[in-house]
């Protein structure tokens, strides 16, 4: 057996091992379904105790930041308070969210943000991560006086990819892509 053949065999074994680990990881991630509903009287729960929330686990940090983003977005829409988005977003996206909330505020149209999450987190580097969320949207606009819905529940499936970046040692949503 030549040295070249040995390298090809060892490389093939390593490649197959890595592929096997990736398949096992994908199976694990696809079995994970996190369902969270946000309403005016309820906040997002903390990650389950089975999730490692130490500062050494960047995936847990990204998950907490992602859920904080949704909590802030929910509160901002209900209270019509755009300032809440500064802690959870960055870059041009932050200004876009502020403008959306200010537009609702000018119309005096609060909204109840309610979604059923089903997301996967992928770390792309030490300071960048992606959260692919295939959620069901139940968000509705509310009457400003009674806080009762003024429209039916859309019960619509949505697929979005959220890019989070670490800014001053804090994960923030920097970009959102919606797939149609």
Number of continuous H segments (helices) and E segments (strands) in the chain: 3, 7
Asked if pLDDT for residue 33 goes beyond 80, the answer is no
| Residue 23 pLDDT greater than 50, yes or no | no
What sign does the CA torsion over 78, 135, 153, 37 have?
negative
- Greatest alpha-carbon span in the chain: 82
- Is 18 within the bounds of a domain? no
Q: How many domains does the chain fold into?
A: 1
Whether residue 113 is contained in a domain is answered as yes
Q: Classify residue 13: in a domain, yes or no.
A: no
Model confidence over 48-84: pLDDT tens digits?
333 444 456 999 999 999 999 999 999 999 999 999 9
Q: Answer whether residue 19 shows pLDDT above 50.
A: no
What six digits make up the tokens of 179? 């797939």
Structural domain of 173 = 32-179
Q: What is the mean pLDDT of residues 145-157?
A: 97
Does residue 19 belong to any structural domain of this protein? no
The answer to the question of residue 2 being in a domain is no
- 7 part of a folded domain: no
CATH number at residue 48: 3.10.450.50
Report pLDDT for 164: 98
Predicted pLDDT at 121: 98
More confident site: 161 or 23: 161
β-pairing verdict for 128-137 and 115-116: antiparallel
Q: What angle in degrees, to the nearest 10, is found between the helix axes of 58-79 and 92-107? A: 30
pLDDT for 2: 54
Average pLDDT value for the chain? 79
CA distances from 136 to 63, 67, 76, 121 (A): 18, 15, 20, 18
Residue 142 lies in a domain: yes
Inside any domain, residue 151: yes
Note the pLDDT of residue 173.
98
């Amino acid at each position: 057996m030549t040295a070249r053949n040995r390298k090809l065999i060892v490389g093939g074994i390593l490649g197959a091992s890595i592929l096997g680990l990736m398949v096992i990881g994908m199976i694990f991630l696809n079995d994970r379904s996190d369902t969270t509903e946000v309403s005016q009287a309820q906040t997002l729960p903390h990650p389950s105790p089975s999730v490692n929330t130490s500062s050494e686990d960047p995936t847990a940090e990204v998950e907490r930041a992602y859920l904080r983003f949704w909590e802030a977005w929910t509160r901002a829409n209900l209270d019509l308070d755009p300032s809440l988005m500064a802690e959870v977003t960055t870059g041009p996206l932050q200004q876009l969210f502020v403008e959306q909330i200010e537009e609702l505020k000018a119309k005096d149209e609060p909204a109840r943000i309610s979604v059923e999450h089903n997301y996967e987190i992928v770390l792309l580097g030490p300071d960048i991560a992606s959260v692919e969320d295939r959620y069901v949207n139940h968000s509705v606009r509310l009457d400003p006086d009674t806080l009762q819905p003024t429209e039916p529940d859309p019960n619509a499936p949505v697929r979005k990819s959220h890019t989070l970046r670490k800014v001053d040692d804090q994960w923030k949503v920097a970009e959102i892509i919606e797939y149609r």
